Chain A
Amino acid sequence: MKRAVAAALMAATIAACDREERRFRELPPSASATNAVRQSELQPGGAIVEESTYTKYDENAYALSQGKRLYEGMNCAGCHFHGGGGIGPPLMDDEWIYGSDPAQIFKTIVEGRPNGMPSFKGKLGNSQVWQIVAYVRSMSGLGSRPASSARDDHMKVAPNLQLRKAERPRNSFLPPSTQQP
């Protein structure tokens, strides 16, 4: 009786537990982004359906925790603070200048962006960048919330990631310098 119940539980949820996998070495999704960032909304012909790059990093608790560690270690907080923004734009809101898709964020980190975002190409391995990508997405509530951690072991500077409402991304494709005050 107990065995049957246990087996049923296992079968029902076995697919959903990628959250707890610890992958120390793995091949990340392709490094070159499939979505280029568009500079304008004008396009010939019908609308192109944008494909999103799903990565399993989004739902992996270990990846998110490593991403957070790297965020601190690479001093992303130096410009973006803990998501609130300062010198750099905020990361916990719904506005994504260069896109919220994981591949787009990957490009942002690896290639850098105008107006101050440095390029980390050659400074971080690909899987490490994907971990940061997943963490950055989780800052605005995207990705899997149970896989995030509720707080950091330092001063409280941001609300609880697990209970944060997901901010539906609004992609703004025009760089800030073109937007006049």
Chain B
Amino acid sequence: MTWLQAAHSALHPASAQADRVGRLYNFLLIVAVLVFVAVMVAALWAAWRRRPIDEDTSPARDARAHRVIFAGAAATVAILFVALVYDLALGRSLTRRATREMLTVRITGHQWWWEVEYEDPTPQNRVRTANELHVPVGQTVALKLASADVIHSFWAPSLGGKKDLIPGHHNELWFTPTEPGLYRMQCAEFCGLQHAYMALEVVVEDSKKFAQWINAQRKPAATPPDTLTARGKLVFESGPCATCHAIAGTSAAGTIGPDLTHIASRRWLASGRLGNTRANLAGWIVDPQRIKPGVLMPSNGLEPADLQALLNYLASLK
């Protein structure tokens, strides 16, 4: 599993908002390059031009210089004004809320993972997951941002700008994805030891696939099909796992760590740090501190047989 397939560049916009910001950036870039070239040409020419020995040093030259400087200042003001008008107009139009129906998702930042909860008027349709966000293409998604501990920031460069998650405040971010695909989001506000590894994958898919996904997420955990998997469920419920993690439909109802009801359906583990493979999951369960030192999940010494059973069980939670 790599992030190579996931776009995470402001220069490769995949939402209506990011696209418009990209165009603003291109405009500002062109202006900047032209201004820079003009200033450097002027400076280098002024510095290295050949001066005749008997050059005129009268005050009239200074007066001409003043006029040139004034013209330069006026040009600067004009260019900046144009940029300013464009900035403000775009800013205003981007903050105008979409009037059509939005998919509302509540995102809560934790040290160092993302809690994702799909809102719905019907309580049993609400989906709680972690570190992965699925959205249907073409529909505006409104993210309600809150934090459980310190300030985090939600930033998917290809999908738009960022907004901070500030404890004690509610913030909102919305975007309208235009291209199906995978997009990487990383926390953009320094939040402690594992700020570097606090990522989330945004999956933009067509509405049919999205409906399939969310219906699967609404179901509780699958019942274990065989004894080894059942043993794994027992290991989960009776050991330290259930203290912090929840699996809907079992007695594990911990709220400190991510919800694991459908962990096998996710592509990433540990908030985008490890691909979701059996080997990675085993290493993560047994010694998370080696992979993300400082993370709040403790090392767990498990009997090898218990570990294999647990892995089987977690792999069954699609």
Q: Would you call A159 an interface residue if the criterion is a C-beta within 8 Å of the partner chain's C-beta atoms? A: no
A25 and B244 contact, CB distance less than 8 A = no
Q: Would you call B91 an interface residue if the criterion is a C-beta within 8 Å of the partner chain's C-beta atoms? A: no
> How many A residues have CB within 8 A of the partner chain?
13
Chain A residue nearest to B238 (CB atoms) is A122
Query: A141-173 toward B: CB 8 Å interface, digit per residue (1/0)?
Result: 000000000000100000000000000000000
Q: Would you call B249 an interface residue if the criterion is a C-beta within 8 Å of the partner chain's C-beta atoms? A: no
Chain A residues near B294 (CB, 8 Å)? 22, 24
A163 to B25 alpha-carbon distance, docked (Å): 53
Q: Would you call B299 an interface residue if the criterion is a C-beta within 8 Å of the partner chain's C-beta atoms? A: yes
Closest Cβ of chain A: how far from B74's Cβ, in Å? Answer: 52
A124 and B289 contact, CB distance less than 8 A = no
> Which B298-318 residues have a C-beta within 8 angstroms of A?
298-301
Q: Would you call A73 an interface residue if the criterion is a C-beta within 8 Å of the partner chain's C-beta atoms? A: yes
A69 and B289 contact, CB distance less than 8 A = no
Closest Cβ of chain B: how far from A100's Cβ, in Å? Answer: 25
**Which of these, A24, A73, A125, contacts B300 with CB under 8 Å?**
A125
A112 to B129 alpha-carbon distance, docked (Å): 33
Q: Would you call A3 an interface residue if the criterion is a C-beta within 8 Å of the partner chain's C-beta atoms? A: no
Closest Cβ of chain B: how far from A28's Cβ, in Å? Answer: 11
Chain B residues near A153 (CB, 8 Å)? 149, 167
A74 and B299 contact, CB distance less than 8 A = no
A3 to B34 alpha-carbon distance, docked (Å): 50
Chain B residues near A25 (CB, 8 Å)? 287, 289-290, 293, 299
Chain A CB within 10 Å, residue with most, of B243, B289, B290, B293: B243
A123 to B287 alpha-carbon distance, docked (Å): 16
Q: Would you call B256 an interface residue if the criterion is a C-beta within 8 Å of the partner chain's C-beta atoms? A: yes
A153 to B167 alpha-carbon distance, docked (Å): 10
Q: Would you call A128 an interface residue if the criterion is a C-beta within 8 Å of the partner chain's C-beta atoms? A: yes
Q: Would you call B220 an interface residue if the criterion is a C-beta within 8 Å of the partner chain's C-beta atoms? A: no
Q: Would you call B239 an interface residue if the criterion is a C-beta within 8 Å of the partner chain's C-beta atoms? A: yes
Chain B residue nearest to A25 (CB atoms) is B289
> Which A90-135 residues have a C-beta within 8 angstroms of B?
122-125, 127-128
| Given A22-B294, A24-B293, A153-B167, CB of A125 within 8 Å of CB of B243 | no
Q: Would you call B39 an interface residue if the criterion is a C-beta within 8 Å of the partner chain's C-beta atoms? A: no
Q: Would you call B72 an interface residue if the criterion is a C-beta within 8 Å of the partner chain's C-beta atoms? A: no
B240 and A24 contact, CB distance less than 8 A = no
| Given A22-B294, A73-B256, A128-B298, CB of A123 within 8 Å of CB of B167 | no
A122 to B287 alpha-carbon distance, docked (Å): 17
Chain A residue nearest to B257 (CB atoms) is A73
Chain B residue nearest to A131 (CB atoms) is B298
Chain B residue nearest to A74 (CB atoms) is B243
B243 and A123 contact, CB distance less than 8 A = yes
Chain A residues near B290 (CB, 8 Å)? 25
Chain A residues near B244 (CB, 8 Å)? 73
Chain B residue nearest to A69 (CB atoms) is B296
Extra inter-chain contacts (4) besides given A122-B240, A123-B243, CB under 8 Å: A22-B294, A25-B299, A125-B298, A125-B299
23 contacts between A and B (CB under 8 A): A22-B193, A24-B289, A24-B293, A24-B294, A25-B287, A25-B290, A25-B293, A25-B299, A69-B296, A73-B256, A122-B238, A123-B240, A123-B243, A124-B240, A124-B243, A124-B298, A125-B240, A125-B299, A125-B300, A125-B301, A127-B298, A153-B149, A153-B167
